[in-house]
Structure formats: C-alpha cells, structure tokens
Structure 1
Amino acid sequence: MTHVMAKGANIALPVAAVRAVLRWHAAPGSPDVDASALLVGADGRVRSDADFVFYNQPRHPSGVVRHLPKHRTGPDGEIADTIEIELGKLPADVDRVVLAGSSEGGSFRAVPRLRVLLYDAAAGDGAPALAEFAVTDAEEVTALLAAELYRRDGGWKFRAVGQGYATGLVGLATDFGITVEDDAAPEAAAGPAEPTAPPAPHRAPDPRSEPGTYTLAPAVPLSTPPPPVAPPSTPPAPQPAYGYPQPPAQPAYGYPQQPYPQQPQPQPQPGYGYGYPPPPPAAPPVQPAPQEAFALPPQGPQFQPR
C-alpha cells in the first residue's frame, strides 16, 4: 500500500534498504532535474565532502549510498533519477540522509508532475511504492530539499519536506557543510536566482514534534520581557505647621466617607468682662442694733459733789 503524503508528514520504515526516486514529466522546454543525497550527522552537517552523493560522485566511499543512472520510465515519457540507501548499514554517526534535487535550464516551477517515490529496495520492479509525495508548491528555485530519511527510536522514518533553495544546489550543499568549487555546478557560473526568502539552515528533527510537520526555520527567540513595573510609591503625608493642630485626613476619592467626630460646642458665657466670671451678689448691709440711752445708777452720798 502506498502512503500518499502531504508536506511535513512522516512514516516509519520497516525495511532495511530503500530506493528514493525523483520523478517528473519530460515536457518540451522543461528543465532537466538531478537527484542527490547528503549523509548528515546529529549536528546537521556532513562529516566530509565525501558524504555528498550526486551525478559527479555517484557512490559513497562506504558503498551503502549510490546514485543510479537516470532513465525514462513508462509510456508517458516520465524520467526517474534514483538514489539507493542501505539504511541498516549506515554508520552510527550518520543521523539523516537528505534527499535533494537540482534543476538545470529553469526553475522547479516549470517541472511538471514532480514527485518523490520511496520503494522497498528488496521488492521487485512491479511492487508499489511505500510512500509518494507530490511537490506541488515549488517556487522559482533551482534546488529543492525534497525529503529525508532519519533515525528514530532505533529505526528509520521518512519525511516529506519540499523546501526550495533560491541559491541553487551550491547554496543547499554549503548549508550542510559541503565545500563546493565555483565550477562544480552549472548554476554557479550563471549566478543564483533571486530569492523570494532567505533559506534557513536545516535542523534535525525535534523528538517533541513527532508526529508533526517539518520545520526548517530556527525557533524565533522569545523577546526579552520588559522589566517589572515598580508599584507607585505613596507620597508622604504633609506635616502640620508647628504649634497648630493637624487637620483630619481626607479620604480617597471613591471610598466610603467616614463621618467626622462631633466636636463639643462651648457653652455661652454671660456678658461680663471678657474672660472673668460674674461677681457674686452683694450682701445686704448689716443694720446695727438699736441702743438704749445710758443712765448712771443712782449714786451714793459719797459720790455726790461737795
């Protein structure tokens, strides 16, 4: 059964060796396409330039990755370019095999019916493909990261990518650590196409993204959070002038108003001298007792005048 895959989808591979085929329709005036493979470590780069397998270097030194001759297939004039990979024999430090393509004489937008087919290498020629990924949104680019094979939980998985490179095969290979001579690729002399967006470095699959879509762009760092805003400080209460009583504090606007305490009112004072109490009422004068007329007692003869 063939898994028809969308961009970003992935499937597990229960086979030890695969054939990855880049296939398209050879319409008049359409550009030619070449398939290639890059053996990439966990750091996202090749170990050496020998890890780049393409038409000028069709066999990896280990012999486990091979570029087969391009051939025409079927009565409809389609062309197939094939890469064979023995997954079970890849060195342990090879984390991924990137399946790429490059076009000569035009961009991938002008390549009709472009797709990636993945087959079990042990099956016969008439066996159906394990997976098929149609590249339908190719832009004005001359290099394409079509798909990849990568390790996961002791096995291998296949992911549909479909990421274009406006800088051509030279730009794609350089991003993975390949040293490319100026005359190594035809598109280098003519100059790269105008990029619609700068290509982002390829990244290893994130274990937390399984299953999920493939993301080439690096994660955007979170912006630095603004410094915490200090709480507004309460201004100090005004101090009363020396020697005067302090007025009562006014409540904040909008809060329940507290009744002011009633001050005792002074009692009215009678209208006497300022600040002095009224004099006590005058006592009535003491009337002397009436005295009787004084009369000497009768005198004896001895007291009579002589």
Structure 2
Amino acid sequence: MTHAMAKGANISLAAAAVRAVLRWSTTPGAPDVDASALLLGANGKVRSDTDFVFYNQPRHPSGLVRHRPKHRVPGTEEIADTIEVDLAKLPADVERVTLVGSTEEGDFRAVGALRVLLHDAAGTGGAANAEPLAEFQVGEVEAVSALVCAEFYRRDGGWKFRAVGQGYASGLSGLATDFGVTVEDEDEDGQAPATGAAQAEEPGTYTLTPAVPPAAAPPTTPAAPATPPTAPPTGPPSIPAMPSNLPAAPSTPPPPAGPPSYGYPAPNYPAAPAQPTPGYGYPQQPPPYGYPPQAAPAYGYPQQPQTAAFQPAPPAPPAPPLDPTFVLPPQGPQFQTR
C-alpha cells in the first residue's frame, strides 16, 4: 500500500535500502530537473564535499549513495531521476540524507506534476513497476530553482522519511553552500575554473570543488622560497677568450743546417775560408815572387801542349845496339872515394 504524504508528513521505514525517484511530466517550455543527495552529520552539514552526490559526482566514495541516469518512463511522457540509498549500511556519523531537485533554466512553477516516489530497493519491491512505499506530490511551489523535496533521518535506532518541499531562491549553489559544500563561482571571463571534482557541463552554471576531510588532510608543506637557489652548472667550465691586443711573440731563427751532434743542436760556427786543392800527396807551394805560377805536373810527367786537334806523338827512334863488352862499374860503398 502506498502512503500518500502531505508536506511535512513522515513515515517510519523498515526497508534496508530505498530508491527515491523524482518524477515530472514534460511540457513545452518546462525546464529540465536534476536530482541530487546530501549526506549530513549531526550539525546539519556535510562532512566533506564528497558527501554531495549529483550528476557530476554520481557515486559516493562509500558506494552507499548513488545517482542513476535520468530516463523517460516507458509508456508515458514523464521523466524520472533516481537516487539510491543503502540506509542500513550508512556510518553512524551520517544523521540525514536530503533529497534535492534543481533546474538550470527557469523555475519549478513551470514543472508539471512534480512528485517523489519512494520504493523498497530490495526484494520484490525493487522492481521498476512495483508499487511505491510512499508518494509525495510536491504541489505548488514558489519561483525557485532549487528545492529540498524530502529527507531520510535517524530516529530511535531506525530511519524515517519526511516530505519537505522547501525552496531555495539562490539555486543549487546557495542550497549547497548552506549545507557546507564548497562552491566556486565563475571567473570574470564567464568560464568555470578547471579545478574541482564537480564541473558544470553547461556554461553559466556553478562549479563545486570537493574539500579534503580534516582527518585526511595532508600535512602542510613549507612554502617554497621566493627565489630558488641557482643550480650549479652541469656542463664543462667556459674558457675566457684571449685578448686581441697582446704583442706578437718574437720569431725564432731556424736552426743551422748540418748534422746534429749526438742529440744536441749543432753550433753556429762561421764558415771556413776556401782552401786551394792540394796536389797529389803534397801541399801546394806559393809561386816565387815575380814569376808566373807553373802548372802542376801530371803525376810526375810534364804537360804536353794542347793543340786544336789531337796529333799522335812521332815514333821514337830505335835504340842503339848494346855494347857486349860493357860492364857496369862496382857500385858498393867500399868502392866509393872517401
């Protein structure tokens, strides 16, 4: 049996896991609606930005809260956007799970037949065409673009479901900020910052930047110095250029010609005066004073005058016959006259 709930009413839940469906009819000019969920602690704030589950962050890190893809209900002209919650497995520091609807253009006055259907996500109640546990017709709303449709909250060791229907004129950005989510506005150029786990896909929308939980925040590192130290050179040292105005080095005379003296440079002695060529075996004698020099004999024989043409020598006269009675005188020293 389905509980028809009015605004502010609540019911107890026995289901361990539920599926909350935000459903509306499509009409010309009506804005599109997006469903999202916020996991809140005892202070009514999120523990970290990861506790905001929506189309850009469709799954909570614990996996206990999930956003399902939006779809058209078969056989109807209605759209459904679904949030699934495993209530029995949520940690003790999660006191509430808030179901939120938002629009990017227009407000909820143009959204027709807006309602929340609550299903049991386990057993036979988890079927798509199963009868819902409860239904809340949101009804008349003001000109707002964000709306807290319903919430799950702990009571006496169990969970209860409440129909809320509270609007936020500041939109989803203002609603998320009220619940402790860090929201960064667009920059001056109208472009959303590139950082953050949740980025709006369409221009002109908000950007959500998840914050690190206090318990998981990394230790603060010291700031880098304003001027980093100069790194030592890694290449070979540079050699300074030689000045161009140095005096020229004195030229060194070439070494004297001649054979080396056993590894030492040969001394540069003055050249000796030319000497006349000596005769055969004997030195030449200066000519006598006043006389022309005589030609050196050729090996003990007088030089023959040279003529224009070579003339053979005349034949020598025949030698006279020897006297057979001729005897040489004694030649010994005893025969010499003293």
* TM-score tier after normalising by the smaller chain length: 0.5 to 0.7
Is the Cα–Cα contact under 8 Å of residues 170 and 185 in structure 1 kept in the other structure?
Answer: no
Name the residue aligned to 2:129. 126
C-alpha displacement of 1:138? 1.2
Distance of 1:97 and 1:188 partners within structure 2: 29
Q: How does 1:187-266 map to 2 (within 5 A)?
A: 189=204
Aligned: 1:40 with 2:77: no
Distance of 1:27 and 1:79 partners within structure 2: 11
Distance of 1:104 and 1:26 partners within structure 2: 15
Count of aligned residue pairs for this structure pair: 191
Aligned: 1:147 with 2:150: yes
Residue 90 of structure 2 aligns with an amino acid whose one-letter code is L
Distance of 1:178 and 1:188 partners within structure 2: 20
Deviates more, 1:120-129 or 1:109-118: 120-129
Distance of 1:121 and 1:157 partners within structure 2: 15
Name the residue aligned to 1:101. 101
RMSD: 1.6
Distance of 1:150 and 1:187 partners within structure 2: 33
Residue 60 of structure 1 aligns with an amino acid whose one-letter code is H
C-alpha displacement of 1:187? 9.2
Distance of 1:139 and 1:85 partners within structure 2: 28
Larger Rg: 2
C-alpha displacement of 1:12? 0.2
Residue 136 of structure 1 aligns with an amino acid whose one-letter code is G
Aligned: 1:16 with 2:2: no
Is the Cα–Cα contact under 8 Å of residues 169 and 185 in structure 1 kept in the other structure?
Answer: no
Name the residue aligned to 1:61. 61
Name the residue aligned to 2:173. 170
Q: Secondary structure at the match of 1:31?
A: coil
**CA shift digits 1:86-134 (9 cap, x unpaired):** 0011011000000001012210000000001100001222210001001
Is the Cα–Cα contact under 8 Å of residues 68 and 81 in structure 2 kept in the other structure?
Answer: yes
Q: Identify the structure with bigger relative contact order (alpha carbons < 8 Å, sequence gap 6+).
A: 1
TM-score by length of 1: 0.60
Q: Secondary structure at the match of 2:112?
A: coil
Aligned: 1:135 with 2:147: no
Distance of 1:57 and 1:73 partners within structure 2: 23
Distance of 2:170 and 2:13 partners within structure 1: 32
> Given the alignment, which residue of 156, 159, 166 partners 1:156?
159
Distance of 1:125 and 1:68 partners within structure 2: 13
Unpaired stretches in structure 1, ≥5 consecutive residues: 192-306
Is the Cα–Cα contact under 8 Å of residues 101 and 145 in structure 1 kept in the other structure?
Answer: yes
**CA shift digits 1:248-276 (9 cap, x unpaired):** xxxxxxxxxxxxxxxxxxxxxxxxxxxxx
Residue 10 of structure 2 aligns with an amino acid whose one-letter code is N
Residue 40 of structure 1 aligns with an amino acid whose one-letter code is L
Is the Cα–Cα contact under 8 Å of residues 97 and 149 in structure 1 kept in the other structure?
Answer: yes
Q: Secondary structure at the match of 1:172?
A: helix
Residue 97 of structure 2 aligns with an amino acid whose one-letter code is V
C-alpha displacement of 1:75? 1.9
Q: Secondary structure at the match of 2:173?
A: helix
Residue 168 of structure 1 aligns with an amino acid whose one-letter code is G
Aligned: 1:71 with 2:71: yes
Q: Secondary structure at the match of 2:109?
A: helix
